[in-house]
């Protein structure tokens, strides 16, 4: 069973990184954080790694609903979306909220379903 939503894109890494914030915005998500894993690993432990970015995305109304239903859900926020380089293509993935504890909570399940649908549309917009 997959725990993430994953799509190999026909575009390159730079184009995917450029397009992701707007694709997220169309579904009500803003980018709170960006972690450049390659730069971080080079700076911290002097290793070379492929181009790999983690975007911390948040949809404030959905986050508020989830936190109001169950405070402990905060450990899963923000929603991380990853882009990495795979040859001349980019791969984008996000956690599938329907494969997390949120899907097993009566209060969180409808929110997890909505997040899953929105993130699925984000991935489709990147192609």
pLDDT of residue 8: 96
CATH of the domain at 55: 3.30.310.70
Which residue range forms the structural domain that includes residue 33? 4-125
Per-residue pLDDT at 1 exceeds 50:
no
Predicted confidence (pLDDT) per residue in 90-117, tens digit: 999 998 988 887 778 899 999 999 999 9
Predicted confidence (pLDDT) per residue in 72-91, tens digit: 999 889 999 999 999 999 99
Mean pLDDT of all residues belonging to the chain: 93
Predicted confidence (pLDDT) per residue in 2-26, tens digit: 578 999 999 999 999 999 999 999 9
Token look-up 């979306």 returns 81
Point out the least confidently predicted range of 51-55, 96-100, 120-124.
96-100
Distances (CA, A) of 106 to 54, 74, 113: 29, 17, 12
Q: How many domains does the chain have?
A: 1
């Amino acid at each position: 069973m997959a725990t993430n939503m994953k799509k190999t894109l026909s575009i390159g890494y730079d184009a995917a990184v450029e397009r992701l914030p707007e694709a997220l915005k169309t579904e009500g998500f803003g980018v709170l954080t960006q972690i450049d894993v390659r730069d971080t690993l080079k700076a911290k432990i002097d290793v070379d790694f492929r181009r790999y970015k983690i975007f911390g995305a948040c949809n404030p109304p959905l986050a508020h609903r989830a936190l109001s239903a169950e405070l402990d859900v905060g450990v899963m926020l923000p929603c991380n979306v990853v882009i990495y380089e795979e040859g001349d293509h980019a791969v984008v993935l996000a956690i599938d909220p329907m494969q997390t504890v949120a899907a097993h909570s009566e209060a969180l399940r409808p929110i997890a379903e909505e997040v899953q649908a929105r993130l699925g549309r984000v991935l489709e917009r990147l192609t």
